[in-house]
Amino acid sequence: MVAVTGSALAANCSQPLEPGRHKLTIESDGQTRSAVYFIPSSYTGQDKVPVVFDLHGSNSSSNGQLNRSSWDKVAEKNGFIVVAPQGSLSGKTTGTYAWNVPFVTTRTGGLDEIAYLRQTVKAVAETFCVDTSRIYASGYSGGGRMLSAYICAGHDEFAAAGFVHSLRAGRPVEVGGKWQPDAANCTPARPISIIAFAGVKDTANPYAGGGQPYWQYGFRTAIQRWTELDGCKGNGDPKTVQNVTFSVFAACKNDARIVSYVFANGNHDWPKPNAATEAVTVASKESMPGVVKTAVFDPNIDPASRMWDFFGKNDGSSDVIATTAAAKPSTESPANCAQGNMSETACKSAAQPASARQNDSVQQEL
């Protein structure tokens, strides 16, 4: 059962809805769970539209994640729905939450997040006028680990997925003194297209591995494992511009693609690119169908916009846009302190207004 609260009400493809953010409640496994959804002003209720699920990091919330990712702004521009589910674990500050990731961060009081996400996807598809072939997902930090676990558990509702500082390919196991993904813990239903971002200077989810017990193997190991799961060929043909390395594996099974952006100076903040002096061009090859060229780099494009471009071109025939830029550290917003999305330390250091995109890595626990 899904309850849409507020003034926006609908039943599948029937009528327009009030634009903006609204609260969504979901009955899952005998518990009432919450989420936030965003309706673009172009939504008519008659034409089926795509949906992007945006999963928050630890010590954040549905609204906090939308503030950080700006997925709602991308949705308004491009005419699709965004749904930001909320984890079941309490965060370190009032009004914040974390995900009860199976085999990773499970602790007392956590609910069945797999069942919740499955029910939320089902409810959204039945409630709104949705193109079920164009349902996508994005996860930041702990939310990306949750999304990884969901896909690894064999659920195939998402046509493609994006990860920011969070890609996993199963829980870590140590074999011969080396950490690697547990093959038995990640059995996706089919090859899936993935776009992932990582910062070499990330200390919360270290790029090279290590850190918390749930992390251990690094970003490159996770990418390598997904190329195996997707049956990809090649080495990703990496290109570097202004300390950002772009790689694309396009010769994968079922037309899947894997794309990664590695920021040499990036930390755990949501990346905010600057303009690059040149764009990375990916040459067209017979072995990599559909990979043609780049678009002119737009300095205002952030991971959400880049993911949306990737999702929209995930048909095995269109161009992969491969542009890169150096990472710019995000600044904190005092306004976000009142929403519980920043630590006390970060709030005290916020001396001036910043963009709506915020960072909660100070309190990252997953």
**DSSP string computed for 231-294:** T--S----EEETTEEEEEE---GGG--EEEEEETT--SSPP-BPPPSS---PPPBTTBTT----
Are the CB atoms for 92 and 85 separated by under 8 Å? no
Rounded Cα gap, residues 275 and 47, in angstroms: 36
**Greatest CA separation found in the chain?**
59
Are the CB atoms for 113 and 139 separated by under 8 Å? no
| Predicted pLDDT of residue 190 | 97
Are the CB atoms for 114 and 155 separated by under 8 Å? yes
Helix axes 71-78, 62-69, angle to 10 degrees: 70
Over residues 166-221, the pLDDT tens digits come to: 999 999 999 999 999 999 999 999 999 999 999 999 999 999 999 999 999 999 99
Rounded Cα gap, residues 72 and 81, in angstroms: 8
| Predicted pLDDT of residue 155 | 97
Helix (H) or strand (E) holding 35: strand 31-39
Kindly report which listed range (42-46, 187-191, 324-328) carries the lowest average pLDDT score: 324-328
pLDDT band at residue 53 using 50, 70 and 90 as cut-offs? very high
Are the CB atoms for 296 and 62 separated by under 8 Å? no
Q: Does domain 2-346 have CATH number 3.30.300.160?
A: no
| Predicted pLDDT of residue 95 | 94
pLDDT band at residue 242 using 50, 70 and 90 as cut-offs? confident
| Predicted pLDDT of residue 350 | 37
Query: What rounded mean pLDDT belongs to the chain?
Result: 81
Instruction: State how beta strands 20-28 and 2-4 pair.
Output: antiparallel
| Predicted pLDDT of residue 29 | 86
How large a percentage of the chain has pLDDT more than 90?
A: 66
| Predicted pLDDT of residue 108 | 75
Q: Assess whether pLDDT exceeds 60 at residue 316.
A: no
pLDDT band at residue 271 using 50, 70 and 90 as cut-offs? confident
Name residue 168's amino acid.
R
Give the mean pLDDT of 100-127: 89
Per the model's pLDDT, the better-predicted residue between 176 and 280 turns out to be 176
Kindly report which listed range (40-49, 137-146, 285-294) carries the lowest average pLDDT score: 285-294
Domain ranges of the chain: 2-346
Are the CB atoms for 299 and 273 separated by under 8 Å? yes
């009004």: which residue's tokens?
Answer: 95
Over residues 246-262, the pLDDT tens digits come to: 999 989 999 999 999 99
Tokens of 204: 């919360």
Per the model's pLDDT, the better-predicted residue between 320 and 311 turns out to be 311
| Predicted pLDDT of residue 273 | 58
Helix (H) or strand (E) holding 305: helix 303-312
Strands, DSSP E only, in 141-268? 160-164, 172-175, 178-181, 193-199, 239-241, 244-249, 258-263
